[in-house]
A and B are shown apart, each in its own frame.
Chain A
Amino acid sequence: MSRPGGPLLSVRDLTVVLTSGQPVIQDVCLSLDPGQTLGVVGESGSGKTTTALALLGYARPGMRITSGELEISGERVALTDEKAARGVRGRLVSHVPQDPSTNLNPALRVAGAIGDVVHEHRPRVGVDSAVFDILERVHLPATRAFARRFPHQLSGGQKQRVLIACALVCEPPLIVLDEPTTGLDVVTQARILEEVERLHRDRDIAMIYVSHDIAVISQVADYVAVMYGGFVVEQGATDQVLSRPRHPYTRGLVASVPDHTAPRRLRGIAGVAIGLEDRPPGCPFAPRCGQSVDRCSVELPRLEHVDGRSVRCFEAGRTPPIARGDAVARHPTDGGDALLSVEHLTAVHRVGRQTVVATDDVSFRVHNGSCVALVGESGSGKTTIARAIAGLHRPTAGRILLAGAALAPRAQKRPLEHRRRCQIIFQDPYESLNPRVRIINEVARPARVLRGLSKKEAASEAARLLERVRMPADLAAVFPGELSGGERQRVAIARALAAGPDLLVCDEITSALDVSVQAAVIELLDELRASLSLSLLFITHNLGVVASIADYVLILDQGRVCEQGAVDRVFSDPQSPRTAELLAAAPVLRAVL
Chain B
Amino acid sequence: MSALRFAGTGRGRVGLVILGFVLAVALLGPFFAPHDPAALVGAPGSSPSGASPLGTDGLGRDVLSRVLWGGRSVLWLSLSATALAFVVGTLIGAVAGYSRSLLDPLLMRLVDVVLSFPPILFILIIATGVGESELILVIEVAIVLAPGLARIVYSATREISVRGYTEAAVARGERTSAILAREILPNILGPLIANLGLTVTFSVLLIAAVNFLGVGLQPPAANWALMISENRDILSINAWATVVPAGLIGLLTIGVNLVGDAISHTLGVAGRQAPTLTPGAAELTPAAELVR
Contacts and interface: CB of A to CB of B under 8 A. Distances in A.
Contact of B164 (A58, A437, A479, A492): A492
B292 A86 contact: yes
Contacts of A117: 291
A337 to B, nearest CB: 24
Interface stretch (A12-20, A301-309, A507-515): A507-515
Contact of B168 (A53, A58, A424, A480): A424
A431 B290 CA distance: 32
B165 A433 contact: yes
Contacts of B173: 391, 411-412, 414, 416, 419, 449
Interface in A99-133: 99, 102-105, 116-117, 120
Contact of A183 (B163, B170, B281, B287): B281
Contact of A436 (B187, B279, B285, B291): B187
B290 A512 contact: no
A86 B292 CA distance: 7
Interface in A3-51: 43-44, 48-49
Interface size class of B (residues with CB under 8 A): 35 or more
Given A44-B276, A432-B163, A511-B278, A166 B285 contact: no
Contacts of B291: 89-90, 116-117, 120, 166
A183 B278 contact: yes
A434 interface: yes
A97 interface: yes
B176 to A, nearest CB: 9
B284 to A, nearest CB: 6
Contacts of A86: 292
B155 to A, nearest CB: 17
Nearest to B174: A449
Interface centre among B164, B279, B283, B285 (most CB of A within 10 A): B279
A391 B292 contact: no
Nearest to A104: B287
Interface stretch (B124-132, B204-212, B265-273): B265-273
Contacts of A60: 285-286
A212 B271 contact: no
B274 interface: yes
A365 interface: no
Contacts of A90: 291
A98 B285 contact: yes
A49 B280 CA distance: 8
Given A97-B285, A116-B291, A481 B270 contact: yes
Nearest to A105: B288
Given A392-B167, A412-B170, A419-B173, A103 B287 contact: yes
Interface string A412-455: 10101001000110111011111111000010011001100000
B280 A212 contact: yes
B261 interface: no
Nearest to A95: B290
B5 interface: no
Contacts of B168: 424, 426, 432, 495
B121 interface: no
Interface in B138-182: 163-165, 167-174, 182
B285 to A, nearest CB: 4
B275 interface: yes
Contact of A431 (B170, B273, B281): B273
Nearest to A61: B286
Contacts, number: 141
A481 B170 contact: no
Contact of B285 (A53, A120, A485, A495): A53
Interface in B167-225: 167-174, 182-183, 186-187
Contacts of B169: 445
B104 to A, nearest CB: 14
B181 to A, nearest CB: 11
Contact of A49 (B270, B274, B285): B285
Contact of A99 (B164, B284, B290, B292): B284
Contacts of A44: 276, 279-280
B164 A426 contact: yes
Given A178-B285, A434-B182, A513 B167 contact: no
Interface residues of A, number: 67
A5 B19 CA distance: 72
B277 interface: yes
A182 interface: yes
Interface in A460-492: 479-481, 485, 492
Nearest to B271: A435
B163 A431 contact: yes
Contacts of B292: 86, 89, 120
B280 A391 contact: no
A416 B174 CA distance: 10
B284 A102 contact: yes
A437 B181 CA distance: 12
A116 B291 CA distance: 8
B171 A431 contact: no
Interface string A75-90: 0000000000010011
Contacts of B183: 434
Contacts of B288: 105
Contacts of A94: 290
B290 A58 contact: yes
A427 B278 CA distance: 10
Nearest to A505: B171
A514 B170 contact: no
A182 to B, nearest CB: 6
B274 to A, nearest CB: 5
A499 interface: yes
A49 B172 contact: no
A390 interface: yes
A391 B171 contact: yes
Interface in A190-233: 212
A212 B164 contact: no
A362 interface: no
A257 interface: no
A512 B278 contact: yes
A48 B279 CA distance: 12
A259 interface: no
A56 interface: yes
B283 A49 contact: yes
Given A99-B281, A117-B291, A449-B174, 11 more contacts: A44-B279, A44-B280, A89-B291, A212-B279, A412-B170, A412-B173, A426-B168, A436-B187, A479-B270, A480-B273, A512-B276
6 contacts: A98-B284, A392-B171, A412-B170, A414-B173, A419-B172, A434-B182
The 6 closest A-B pairs by CB, nearest first: A432-B164, A426-B164, A436-B186, A97-B285, A434-B165, A103-B287
Interface of A: 43-44, 48-49, 53, 56, 58, 60, 86, 89-90, 94-95, 97-99, 102-105, 116-117, 120, 163, 166, 178-179, 182-183, 212, 390-392, 411-412, 414, 416, 419, 423-424, 426-428, 430-437, 442, 445-446, 449-450, 479-481, 485, 492, 495, 499, 511-514
Interface of B: 163-165, 167-174, 182-183, 186-187, 270-281, 283-292
